[in-house]
Chain A
Amino acid sequence: MHNRNILLVEDNLDDVELTLRAFKKNNIANEIIVVNDGVCALDYLFGQGKYKGRNIEDIPQVILLDLKLPKLDGHEVLRRIRADELTRLLPVVIMTSSKEEQDLIESYKNGANSYVRKPVDFNQFVDAVKQLGFYWLLLNEAPPVEKGR
């Protein structure tokens, strides 16, 4: 169970690139699955659409979820994740540019585990990813995967 995936939901390819680089810089070796919109994120988690046939019990260790996404926004994705038995305990970290209070409140209301604002300064960004990885991948005990849904 040690090297479970990380699901990165991010539509901005620059941000994807920078995030991956930050992970790499921090020597985080977990496989990072990247999806670019909310629908794809749910498809991945629930093994539907282009992820049909995927073993859905292979649940990511943590999801890094942007809020502003095409098709289905981050809030809705989070709601669906929490609404499903399989994923309702899955740690979700909101990673967004927004510092708006309403986003914060909405995210925590929907059951986000963490809310991180992506800093503009790359050094700070790398630092943030490092701490995220440290906490969510090493320190935090992930909830057990509930089988036999």
Chain B
Amino acid sequence: MKLKHRVFQYLIFLGFILPIVVMAVFSYAHLSRDLNRAVFDRRAAMAEIAATFAKEKLDHFVDLGISFSSRPYFVKFVKDGNWKDAAEILRNTLADFSFIHLFFLTDTEGTVRAGLPRDDELIGENFVFRDWYKGVSRDWRPYVSEVYETRYTPFYKVVAIAVPIKDEEGRPIGIMVFLVKLDVFTQWVGTYKFGASGFLFIVDHHGHIVAHPGFPPQGDIIDFSGVPSVRKALKGEEGSLLFYNDIEKQERLLVFKPVPHYGWGCVVTQSSREAFMVRDDTLKIAGILYLIALFLSSIIMIFILRYISAHEVTEEKIRRLNAELARRLVQLKDVNKELEAFSYSVSHDLRAPLRSIDGFSHIILEEYADRFDEKGRDYFKRIRAAAQHMAELIDDLLSLARVSRSELHFEEVDLSALAHKIAGSLKERHPGRDVEFLISPGMTARGDSLLLEGALINLLENSWKFTSKHVRAKIEFGVFKEKGKDVFFVRDDGAGFDMNYASKLFGAFQRLHTQGEFPGTGIGLVTARRILHRHGGRIWAEGAVEKGATFYFTLGG
């Protein structure tokens, strides 16, 4: 029963907590995913901006080259083989573009014809091996080269922008090349920083670093083609990955993006710890909040269950007690029924033999008296007396049983009037006795009138009997207040009793006198006491031998 109850409680608890746990886990996962995506999206957006920006930058260079190379005079000079003049036309214009480190013109075979600023060493040199020549000569379209080192001191690391020079029919007649130092890109990439560890780097189509804030622009050319993010970007893919950097001893988040059209790649990178810091902090707080919520709701649930189970236990207890009470009541009813059957049987069956004993003894005395002597006749008289006494005993016992059993009907009872009535009947039944009754007027009490009369009869008859040896007697019935309660008393100046035996006064069949002194059954006072007890009252006695007795009693309520 108890175990079942426990299990039930656990089930309720789980049923309540489990959905909360599931919800918490679900929303935690959801939040984690959202935050994660936000991190990646932000980086992806950055990479996108960087890639777009890089493309625009290169477009700008190329556009510049096209605008230079398509000037009519310029084209005319090139066409005429007047390379020097062609270069001179652009001298002033080029001065405005500080990022152009070096400028020269080659013929379609890649041999330098003119350069700006004038570099005589350069003229006549052939650059067919250069990436830019291979690129531009492939389909005679503008081309941005790989990173490379120039051949002369101080061996600048540059990117070449090669633009074909075409005549009116669109035939290539020469190549215009300008070199941009990597510093230009590095400077730009250097401004592109976020957080403490976030930066952007750009690689050319071979995976060589164009710009990386961690490397000096004029240092060695660095090959990043083996780096996974770079490899992917160069393959035209875009995306992100986590990469453990052995040198930095930390994981980095890399978001890569190809630079459209030019085959270069952009990579935005940041240490994972930093990139995910906000996410991790938020998740940490969310996790703590969820745990607190879970903890609180568990506690609340436990309290609720405790409360309910305490209630249930109490209810269960009450139910059990009620059931027990009902069972007892049934038992009591059974016992009462048995008692009734018993008293009935006593009343009926025990009296019949007595009647026979008495009756036939009487007949013998009547019809056969002459066959017995005085002694014999006396014995028959004793038999008859004994039978009658036993009948009285039976009657008294039955009335005692009735007193205990009968229902009480409460009403206002005039005790003074009852006492007068009983006194009158006693005087009538026993004329010739000189007994003075002193009954206080106006005594009333709440109780069952029949039973109270019974109690009074027993008490007054008791006094009447025990004053019978006195020539004159006085029986008093009165009341006084003690602690706000009415204490009634019945006092006589009769035989009295020894206080040592006071406790025996109210025991069934207990007698302080012999049958010869005062006849009786020993049940009268017991009956009176039981009646008073049933009214919630009590009775006690005071007395002394030959000094009379006083019976005090109270009624409850």
Using a CB–CB cutoff of 8 Å, the interface residues on chain A facing chain B are 12, 14-15, 17-18, 21, 67-68, 96-103, 118-123, 125
From the candidates A102, A103, A120, name the one contacting B355 in the complex (CB within 8 A): A120
Q: Give Cα distance in the complex from A99 to B359, angstroms.
A: 19
Question: Secondary structure of the B side of the interface?
Answer: helix
A120 nearest CB neighbor, chain B only: B391
From the candidates B352, B359, B361, B362, name the one contacting A97 in the complex (CB within 8 A): B352
Residues from chain A with a CB closer than 8 A to the CB of B356 are 12, 14-15, 18
Which residues, 103 to 160 on B, are CB-close (under 8 Å) to A? none
Q: Does chain A have a CB within 8 A of B59?
A: no
Chain B positions 347 through 385: 1 when the CB is less than 8 Å from some CB of chain A, otherwise 0: 111011111101111110000000000000000000010
Besides A17-B359, A100-B398, 18 new A-B residue pairs in contact (Cβ under 8 A), listed by A number: A12-B352, A12-B356, A15-B355, A18-B355, A18-B356, A18-B359, A68-B348, A68-B349, A97-B352, A100-B343, A103-B344, A118-B355, A120-B351, A120-B388, A120-B391, A121-B358, A123-B362, A125-B359
Asked whether, in the complex, the Cβ of B363 is within 8 Å of the Cβ of A21, the reply is yes
> Could you tell me the distance in whole angstroms from the C-beta of A28 to the nearest C-beta in chain B?
17
Q: Give Cα distance in the complex from A68 to B344, angstroms.
A: 10
A97-B360 contact given A120-B355, A120-B387, CB 8 Å threshold: no
From the candidates B347, B349, B384, B391, name the one contacting A100 in the complex (CB within 8 A): B347
A121 nearest CB neighbor, chain B only: B388
Most chain B CB within 10 A, of A99, A101, A120, A125, is at A120
16 pairs, CB–CB < 8 Å, chain A vs chain B? A14-B352, A14-B359, A18-B355, A18-B360, A21-B363, A97-B348, A98-B347, A98-B348, A99-B398, A118-B351, A119-B355, A120-B358, A120-B387, A122-B355, A122-B361, A125-B355
Asked whether, in the complex, the Cβ of A96 is within 8 Å of the Cβ of B348, the reply is yes
Which residues, 326 to 359 on B, are CB-close (under 8 Å) to A? 340, 343-344, 347-349, 351-356, 358-359
Q: Give Cα distance in the complex from A103 to B355, angstroms.
A: 20
Residues from chain A with a CB closer than 8 A to the CB of B476 are none
A101 nearest CB neighbor, chain B only: B402
5 closest pairs, A vs B, by CB? A120-B391, A14-B356, A122-B362, A18-B359, A97-B351
Q: Give Cα distance in the complex from A122 to B351, angstroms.
A: 12
Interface size for B (C-beta < 8 A) is: 25
Asked whether, in the complex, the Cβ of A97 is within 8 Å of the Cβ of B388, the reply is no
Q: Does chain A have a CB within 8 A of B395?
A: yes
A13 nearest CB neighbor, chain B only: B356
A67 nearest CB neighbor, chain B only: B348
Q: Give Cα distance in the complex from A122 to B388, angstroms.
A: 10
Residues from chain A with a CB closer than 8 A to the CB of B387 are 120
From the candidates B353, B358, B395, name the one contacting A99 in the complex (CB within 8 A): B395
B367 nearest CB neighbor, chain A only: A21
> Could you tell me the distance in whole angstroms from the C-beta of A92 to the nearest C-beta in chain B?
18
Q: Give Cα distance in the complex from A93 to B42, angstroms.
A: 117
> Could you tell me the distance in whole angstroms from the C-beta of A139 to the nearest C-beta in chain B?
26
Q: Give Cα distance in the complex from A82 to B505, angstroms.
A: 50
> Could you tell me the distance in whole angstroms from the C-beta of B545 to the nearest C-beta in chain A?
34
Q: Give Cα distance in the complex from A17 to B359, angstroms.
A: 9
Asked whether, in the complex, the Cβ of B344 is within 8 Å of the Cβ of A100, the reply is yes
A25 nearest CB neighbor, chain B only: B366
> Could you tell me the distance in whole angstroms from the C-beta of B401 to the nearest C-beta in chain A?
10
Q: Give Cα distance in the complex from A47 to B46, angstroms.
A: 127
Residues from chain B with a CB closer than 8 A to the CB of A67 are 348
